[in-house]
Amino acid sequence: MRPRRGAIEGTGEVNLAIVLSTATTMVVFLPIILMSEDARPALRGLPGFPDRVTPHGEPEPGR
């Protein structure tokens, strides 16, 4: 098999897995991003939860 053809077939085999894993990540983190400012302090006790979750394009507070 030619390298180019092999790359095309290999991409086709993993395509669905990549799309589904990306969609899963978006579904998990979207509610946290859209959460109101009042509800976020309840999650600060969770390991790895950032102090601020600022949607893209909005300036961070204090800037």
Structure pTM?
0.51
Domain ranges of the chain: 21-47
The tens-digit pLDDT sequence of the chain (63 residues) is: 899 999 999 999 999 999 999 999 999 888 877 877 777 677 766 776 666 655 665 566 665
Q: In whole angstroms, give the CA distance from residue 6 to residue 54.
A: 42
Q: In whole angstroms, give the CA distance from residue 14 to residue 58.
A: 35
The pair phi, psi for residue 52, each rounded to 5°, is: -130, 135
> For residue 35, what are its two tokens?
């959460």
